[in-house]
Amino acid sequence: MDHIERFADVVVRAGVNVQPGQGVILRTDTAHLEIARAVVAAAYAAGAAWVEPIWSDGPMRRSAVDHASLESLSASRGWALQRIREWADQGIASIALIGDPDPHLLDGADPVRAAAFPADEVRAMREQVMGRLRWTVVGAPNPGWAHQVFGEPDTARLWDAVSTAMRLDAADPALAWRERAATLAERGARLDDLELTSVRYVGEGTDLTVGLIPGCRWTGGGLIDGDGVPFMPNIPTEEVFTSPDRRAADGVVRVTKPLVLNGSLVLGLRLEFSGGRIVAATADSGADVVRAQLETDPGARSLGEVSLVDSDSRIARTGIVFHNTLFDENAGCHVAWGSSFPFAVDGGAAMTVAQREELGLNTSAVHTDVVIGGDGITVTGTGPKGTIEIIRNDEWVL
């Protein structure tokens, strides 16, 4: 089995865990054609009833940003919303292949137009994915991504790095992921037992304290759907995470990894929080793109996720900056502005938006992860047992 076949097997068996007779949607860029074909074949081999690819294409996206009206870029379509509802009713599985083939695709574009998208469709899809469907998001190598990482389109070298990060070098990669998931889940259980009320991140340029929702649940490794089927939302994953109280975040952070956002590269991002909201965003480059996304809706400036990752991560041990959030966020502690995860609180998936917000969960059409960890980061948690070290100098100590 070559690396593409092993990749596809992990996506289908460990990631979304396709069940016999299940429908599958595959969201992917045209740059991932060969990999997409392998994933489709693996899904059918696992018993999928049907697999529908949903294609995106960078140059087509740039054409839309340059020429379509802002109203058209942001308008939701009734037929698209109906399709999402039907997917949820059928209990489909959702696979997304990411790996930006051109991180500079939207350089020079109007940042407001570049940030525009059909928010109602995105919110509807996120609502169904987080509450009713199994999903997985996986990074797929391509020449453009390789060029961003290594300065040349050395896809073979990128495959080597991705194979390490995704445990494709194991005798049974899917089994290796289930074992890693169990380790991360155990970390989450220990954090749950502490009943923390806040976490604090301290490192070079970072001192951020975030309040937590009483009874919030820390998740690591994977989830289990309503039918009892386990799945892994992200591969690779090395994190333990929860959704904080959107109303309680104060301090500053220095983002330690590059961020590719809406087709633009953001470097040296710095954020200031007060009263749970981002009140200032500066960067060495790309700050306008970040600021444009923060204006998406009222929830875009508040946090929807806090995450813990230590230096034992396979991604961290590669020493590579992947210029891909899925990989880089699993090399260090990170936070995300935007939407919360309903499953972070018991019964959250069945609650109304208003009920979730009353608890402190955040609602937004965006969810953007940024890495604030790495060498020197220390994380403490405060709760009924006092203040406890969780990570010291990028090493897990809890």
pLDDT band at 250 (very low <50, low <70, confident <90, very high): very high
Query: pLDDT per residue over 167-199, tens digit each?
Result: 999 999 989 998 999 999 999 999 999 999 999
Q: Is the dihedral of CA 147, 150, 151, 156 positive or negative?
A: negative
Instruction: Give me the residue label for tokens 């997917």.
Output: 87
Say what the pTM is: 0.83
User: Which pLDDT score, from 0 to 100, does residue 130 have?
Assistant: 66
- For residue 152, pLDDT over 70 is answered with yes
Q: At what angle do helices 119-131 and 78-90 cross, to 10 degrees?
A: 10
Q: At what angle do helices 173-194 and 3-10 cross, to 10 degrees?
A: 40
Here the tokens at position 88 are 């949820």
Mean pLDDT of the chain: 92
User: Which pLDDT score, from 0 to 100, does residue 323 have?
Assistant: 85
Here the tokens at position 285 are 């480059």
Weakest mean pLDDT among 32-46, 233-247, 254-268: 254-268
pLDDT band at 373 (very low <50, low <70, confident <90, very high): very high
- For residue 39, pLDDT over 90 is answered with yes
Q: At what angle do helices 155-165 and 143-150 cross, to 10 degrees?
A: 90
Q: What is the CATH number of domain 3-169?
A: 3.40.1830.10
- For residue 1, pLDDT over 80 is answered with no
Weakest mean pLDDT among 1-5, 209-213, 246-250, 375-379: 1-5
Instruction: Give me the residue label for tokens 């089995």.
Output: 1
Strand partners, 55: 28
Query: pLDDT per residue over 20-33, tens digit each?
Result: 999 999 999 999 99
The 3-state secondary structure of the chain, one letter per residue: CCHHHHHHHHHHHHHCCCCCCCEEEEEEEHHHHHHHHHHHHHHHHCCCCEEEEEEECHHHHHHHHHHCCHHHHHCCCHHHHHHHHHHHHHCCEEEEEECCCCCCCCCCCCHHHHCCCCHHHHHHHHHHHHHCCEEEEEECCCHHHHHHHHCCCCHHHHHHHHHHHCCCCCCCHHHHHHHHHHHHHHHHHHHHHHCCCEEEEEECCEEEEEEECCCCCCEECCEECCCCCEECCEECCCCEEECEEEEEEEEEEECCCCEEECCEEEECCEEEEECCEEEEEECCECHHHHHHHHCCCHHHHEEEEEEECCCCCHHHHHCCCCCCHHHHCCCCCEEEEECCCHHHCCCHHHCCHHHHHHHCCCCCCCEEEEECCCCCCEEEEEECCEEEEEEECCEECC
Instruction: Locate the domains of the chain by residue range.
Output: 3-169, 188-219+234-396
Q: Taking residues 267-292, report their average pLDDT.
A: 96
